[in-house]
Amino acid sequence: MEVKQMSRKLIALVLAFIMAFAVFALAGCSGGESSSGDAETSAGNEPSETTPVESTEEEATVEEETTAAEETPSASSEPKEETAGPEFGYIIEEYSEYHYTTFVCPYTDGNGVVGGSAANGYFDPATDEMAAFIAQNPEWYKDTKLMESWDIASAPFGDRIGVMMAAETPFITDPVNVNGLMVYKTFEIKDLSDDIHYSLNVFYDNTVYIYINGKPYFINDANCGVGDWNGDYEPINYNIDDQPLTLKDFLVEGTNYIAISIKNCWGGRELDLSLTYEKSSTKASLRFFDPGAEWHYKVFYCPYTDGNGEIDGSAAGGYYDEATDEMAKFIAENPNFTTDAEMLKSWPTAKSPFSAVAEEIGWTGSNHGLILYRTIEITDVEKLKTADYFDWYCFYDNTIHVYLNGTEIFVDDGNCVAQDWNGGLTHYELDTATVAELFKQGENHLVVTIKDAWGGREFNAGFSAEWK
């Protein structure tokens, strides 16, 4: 350590000498005129980055020690007790999955151009498949069995949020002919008490009909005129008649469903939504750590052979060759690695999200394996046993296993076949009794294994105990 510090000091002195010489030389060449850098220094009353500053050896040592401390942060934290204000969350997030079906219904605009962009046009009954479908199924939005038979895709449906993000359906790939779209989705509501407010936020273009649990909730249909679209995710309120109904009047505790039809005339097209809640009452929370936390990490070489036999290809149904899977070899050779604190703490640290530092830490290419570790300090383990639930708040891609003190508490492993990733930070309620018993007084060990197959790779997470 002394040799390393002496080396740093020597380098610092040499650099200071070089910079001093450079400044002297530049001053001599300038004929005494101020440079632009000097002008900026004078205006800001701060020394420039190239201005040498005299310092003692003691000051240099302090600076080095401070820098070293900053470069080697600890991947542990003290849990923070919080009494939250209004609680906000998502029941349905943007870009969620829906059952969908599309319809051929070419639009003839006000100038008589099929697929044109003028208002006040029409849909020819002879080619309007959506109108024919509705005529044959006037209460299609109640037929859950029918809607569940439709294909599945992730929103957004359209081109206003971004063509590159749009679900690749005929609604986007054949915009001249396919102007009709219907979607269907189920969702869960746990609480309809008075202290919770729900909001349905819909981005639509254009003519829209929204049904909740088989009942009409919102319509905006200008009959190919103007003003039957919006420009963003906006709260949508009941507008069928003059009754003072709210969104909550349409919801039930348990399973709910929403059905929406969109019929585009001209210009852009779009459909996506979110369903959010805000709870006015407060709740207690013990936050072990938040997204963006620091973790100890180790990257592993484990090439993925995809379903087509291509190494590091992008097809599902592949495998990791035992001969080259260093992560599997490591786990086999270290069966107690999830609690080997001495080894785990020896690994370097980095801040999540790990997609942002993937290049920096080497989690790229054939290095598909990643193991992460951090500690959680518990000072009152008995209080944890009264928690109503434990919230694992996580964005992962893809195969994930989470261990608390050596016991697995969360897993999503599709074995390179099924979907074993999610699309953003998502709340998962862990088994309350199991997690409460696993925690112990003092230092606790949390280990996460991530194994990417193809496509993107991601990890970010927060963890907390919650009291209602």
Mean pLDDT for each consecutive 10-residue tract of the chain (468 residues)?
35 40 35 31 31 35 37 61 70 96 96 91 96 98 98 95 88 95 97 91 96 98 87 93 94 97 93 92 82 96 93 90 96 97 97 94 96 96 94 95 98 87 92 96 97 92 92
For residue 1, the model assigns a pLDDT of: 35
Six token digits for residue 77: 């934290």
Distances (CA, A) of 407 to 11, 230, 410, 437, 447: 48, 49, 9, 11, 10
Contact 222, 207 (CB under 8 A): yes
Exposure of 282 in the CB half-sphere (CA atoms within 13 A):
6
Query: So what's the pLDDT on residue 119?
Result: 87
Question: Domains along the chain?
Answer: 2-71 (no CATH), 88-279 (2.60.120), 285-467 (2.60.120)
Residues 6+ apart with CB under 8 A from 372: 295, 296, 297, 354, 447, 448, 449, 450, 459
| Cβ–Cβ under 8 Å, residues 169 and 98 | no
DSSP 265: -
- In the prediction, which pLDDT does 283 show? 67
Residues pairing with 270 in the sheet: 205
Of 312, 263, 285, 309, nearest to 390 by C-alpha is: 285
Q: How far apart are CA 219 and CA 239, in angstroms?
A: 7
pLDDT for residue 282:
58
**pTM here?**
0.48
pLDDT at 281: 56
Q: Is 353 helix (H, G, I), strand (E, B) or coil?
A: coil
Largest CA distance in the chain: 90
Confidence (pLDDT) at 74: 57
Backbone angles phi, psi at 295, to 5 degrees: -135, 145
Adjacency order of strands within the sheet including 458-467: 80-83, 284-289, 458-467, 389-397, 426-430
